[in-house]
């Protein structure tokens, strides 16, 4: 083929796209995928200090602290060298910051303590190859924390009691082998356990004291949703989310003595989506639910009604309370919006004043971000799919190139609000459709269980039905639809290209599994307690009766049917979806002479935490989609790589006929 006509066609396509997008500036990838300027603020328990995450002069996220009453004087209190800190909390005495860090994405997180007075850093969980996480802190015992860690057995998360004064750690509660979560009462005692049954269901157990035996309180099958939330302050009742006797989860308070239940919150349309508790006592005082694609709050404590109304009047976006001082006088309220960066506010409960502290990405303010519109799509069997459509500014919403952006999990969901990936795609000229396919959480047990053993089947049909809807509505050009996603969304991308090769023009897979047999046989050891639920919902690779089901659901075994280009991104240290999941389908495509580009990041895990790597991959995806769909693209640097990225790239060209 003469390359000149093809090059001319690409140029004309690019010029046409640019003409349609005239007046809409190209938003730099750095603004969308780089580090936020400030993020995740927290107020110290004594109310004196404000903390947040922000990059240092080497663009590594650190914890910063300043007096709450001051406008400047912030100092860094951590000194991470490379990966950046993404989660932290205050100690109850306001003298320390606790933060988590893993090794290049291996998810073996350690819990660190930094003393603010000296900036001395102590690894509270210095065990190699162990995953640890803070379980609970208490104002009644400010110098002690409870941590879960799999020291004794890599498959089991025991509870450890650690002194913040000395760093001394002792085993508090041993995991009997099936517990996936623990519950702690107001005295900092482990008195509840959430376990997975042999059938894949859930059992809640409680005990009267740490010396008393465990007793089953509620046992349900796989078909029900049941989650422990908290104890009440007196320890005589627990708060749970339960779908028993309803389709969606109810927020319930259940007496441990009598078994009597009191409904704290409920919506027939939505599971419980969020909670507001107390700073120093146990219990729940508000719950949120999904209302027409947006989150809405219900008060549990009567006095919260006026508080929630004041916040709703002041904040046009969806909001949640992310931090409180011990006196319960001041709150940090986080707000998300579809057409702007996340905003963080200081709320004074006495005056009801809402004061803007800062936004996460102030340089996005005023840029032409696209609205995210909630839409409902009917699946072929009548199930309603709550979805979100984002259209490119400056373009008529007719016969657009479209990206089907599939969420991970799959037991998760898309939500309304600021979404960098959706905004990036819309800015480049694509319609973006996000579908809460069956199995997505938040829509009740019927919707959740409709996905059981349906990988590559009805779950995939939902995605196809969403594409058909967009074409019928006139939004999408059926010849220019790409599929993209991470984790399960990456699987959906591979499945889309392998199972329905004529539907999509190309695909972008980020850490997606290609072979369900190898996926389930290589899950992290600390997921052992939940494995029975996984195989019950997906299929059991050790059960010969499920061999055909899982073979048909694994894109690897249909890789020869792929017709269109594929881009794959993978972290070398991913403990959930091992690099072999990407490498085996790359090998299969290479063997079949099919085009694929494989980008491996040796210092990443399940996703891309380092901004240089994140920007690098999306830059490659941007060029890939521009060639496939004809959208706009911000070019890569001349050397073909974002500075600081560790990308290792393998390009397999299509075999000439």
Question: Could you say which of 440, 606, 616, 645 is catalytic?
Answer: 606
Phi, psi of 63 (to 5 degrees): -90, 130
CATH superfamily of 3-31+368-652: Alpha/Beta hydrolase fold, catalytic domain (3.40.50.1820)
* Model confidence pLDDT, tens digit, residues 454-468: 999 999 999 999 999
Name the DSSP letter for residue 552. H
Is residue 44 part of the annotated active site? The answer reads no
**Residue 606: active-site member:** yes
Which residues of the chain, if any, have pLDDT below 70? 1-22, 656-657
* Residue 654 CB burial class (10 angstroms; 0-12, 13-18, ≥19): middle
Contact call for residues 107 and 132 (beta carbons, < 8 A): no
Catalytic residue among 414, 540, 574, 603: 574
Q: Which residues pair with 218 in a beta bridge?
A: 204
Task: Work out the number of other CB atoms within 10 angstroms of the CB of residue 380.
Answer: 11
**What does the block give as tokens for 256?**
């441990």
3-class SS string, 303-341? CHHHHHHHHHHHCCCEEEEEEECCCCCEEEEEEEECCEE
Q: What is the DSSP string of 38-73?
A: SEEEEE-TTSSEEEEEEE-TTS-EEEEEEETT-SS-
- pLDDT for residue 657: 63
Question: What count of other Cβ atoms lies within 10 Å of the Cβ of residue 246?
Answer: 17
Token pair of 310, please? Answer: 């004041």
Q: What share of the chain is helix, strand, coil (3-state, %, to 5)?
A: 20, 35, 45
- At 148-171, the pLDDT tens digits run 999 999 999 999 999 999 999 999
**In the chain, how long is the greatest CA-to-CA distance?**
81
Tokens of 244: 């028993």
Q: Which residues pair with 115 in a beta bridge?
A: 96
**Is residue 345 annotated as part of the catalytic site, yes or no?**
no
CA distance to 182, 378, 385, per residue, from 382 (Å): 38, 6, 9
Task: Tell me which of 138, 337, 440, 487 is the catalytic residue.
Answer: 487
Sheet holding 431-435, edge to edge: 372-378, 384-390, 431-435, 400-406, 476-486, 506-510, 566-571, 596-601, 648-652
Q: Cα-flanking dihedrals φ and ψ of residue 41, to 5°?
A: -70, 155
CB atoms < 10 A from the CB of 219, how many? 15
CA-CA distance, 491 to 513, in Å (whole number)?
Answer: 5
Specify the pLDDT at position 639: 86
For residue 22, the model assigns a pLDDT of: 59
């Amino acid at each position: 083929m003469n390359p000149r006509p093809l090059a001319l066609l690409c140029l004309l396509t690019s010029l046409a796209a640019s003409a349609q997008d005239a007046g809409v500036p190209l938003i730099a990838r750095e603004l969308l995928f780089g580090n936020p300027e400030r993020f995740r603020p927290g107020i110290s328990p004594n109310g004196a200090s404000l903390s947040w995450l922000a990059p240092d002069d080497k663009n590594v996220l650190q914890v910063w602290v300043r007096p709450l009453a001051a406008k400047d004087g912030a100092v860094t209190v951590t000194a991470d060298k490379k990966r950046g800190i993404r989660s932290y909390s205050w100690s109850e005495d306001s003298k320390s910051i606790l933060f988590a860090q893993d090794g290049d994405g291996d998810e073996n997180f350690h819990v660190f303590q930094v003393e603010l007075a000296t900036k001395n850093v102590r690894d509270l969980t210095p065990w190699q190859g162990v995953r640890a996480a803070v379980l609970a802190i208490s104002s009644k015992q400010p110098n002690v924390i409870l941590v879960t860690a799999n020291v004794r057995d890599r498959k089991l998360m025991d509870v450890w009691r650690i002194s913040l004064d000395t760093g001394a750690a002792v085993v508090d509660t041993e995991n009997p082998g099936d517990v996936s979560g623990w519950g702690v009462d107001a005295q900092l005692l482990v008195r509840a356990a959430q376990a997975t049954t042999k059938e894949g269901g859930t059992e809640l157990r409680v005990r009267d004291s740490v010396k008393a035996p465990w007793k089953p309180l509620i046992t349900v099958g796989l078909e029900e949703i049941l989650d422990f939330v908290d104890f009440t302050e007196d320890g005589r009742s627990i708060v749970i989310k339960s779908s028993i006797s309803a389709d969606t989860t109810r927020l319930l308070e259940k007496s441990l003595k009598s078994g009597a239940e009191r409904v704290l919150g409920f919506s027939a349309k939505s599971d419980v989506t969020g909670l507001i508790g107390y700073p120093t006592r146990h219990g729940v005082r508000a719950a949120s639910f999904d209302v027409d694609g947006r989150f809405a709050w219900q008060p549990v404590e009567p006095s919260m009604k006026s508080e929630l109304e004041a916040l709703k009047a002041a904040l046009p976006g969806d909001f949640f309370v992310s931090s409180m001082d011990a006196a319960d006088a001041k709150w940090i309220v986080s707000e998300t919006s579809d057409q702007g960066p996340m905003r963080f506010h200081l709320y004074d409960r006495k005056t009801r004043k809402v004061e803007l502290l800062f936004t996460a990405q102030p340089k996005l303010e005023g840029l032409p971000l696209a609205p995210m519109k909630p839409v409902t799509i009917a699946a072929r069997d009548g199930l309603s799919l709550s979805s979100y459509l984002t259209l490119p500014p400056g373009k008529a919403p007719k016969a657009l190139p479209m990206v089907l952006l599939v969420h991970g999990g799959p037991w998760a969901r898309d939500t309304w609000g600021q979404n960098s990936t959706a905004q990036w795609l819309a800015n480049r000229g694509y319609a973006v459709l996000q579908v809460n396919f069956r199995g997505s959480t938040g829509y009740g047990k019927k919707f959740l269980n409709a996905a059981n053993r349906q990988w590559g089947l009805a779950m995939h049909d939902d995605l196809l039905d969403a594409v058909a809807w967009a074409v019928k509505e006139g939004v999408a050009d059926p010849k220019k639809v790409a599929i993209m996603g991470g984790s399960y969304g990456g699987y959906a991308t591979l499945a889309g290209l392998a199972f329905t090769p004529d539907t999509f023009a190309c695909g972008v897979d980020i850490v997606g599994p290609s072979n369900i047999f190898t996926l389930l046989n290589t899950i992290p050891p600390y997921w052992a307690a939940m494995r029975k639920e996984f195989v019950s919902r997906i299929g059991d690779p050790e059960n010969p009766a499920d061999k055909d089901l899982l073979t048909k659901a694994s894109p690897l075994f249909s890789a020869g049917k792929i017709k269109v280009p594929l881009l794959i991104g993978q972290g070398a240290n991913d403990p959930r979806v091992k690099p072999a999941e990407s490498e085996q389908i790359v090998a299969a495509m290479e063997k079949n002479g099919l085009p694929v580009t494989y980008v491996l990041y040796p210092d990443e895990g399940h996703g891309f935490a380092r901004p240089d790597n994140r920007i690098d991959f999306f830059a490659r995806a941007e060029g890939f989609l521009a060639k496939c769909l004809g959208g706009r693209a911000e070019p890569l640097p001349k050397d073909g790589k974002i500075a600081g990225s560790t990308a290792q790239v393998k390009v397999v060209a299509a075999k000439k006929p």
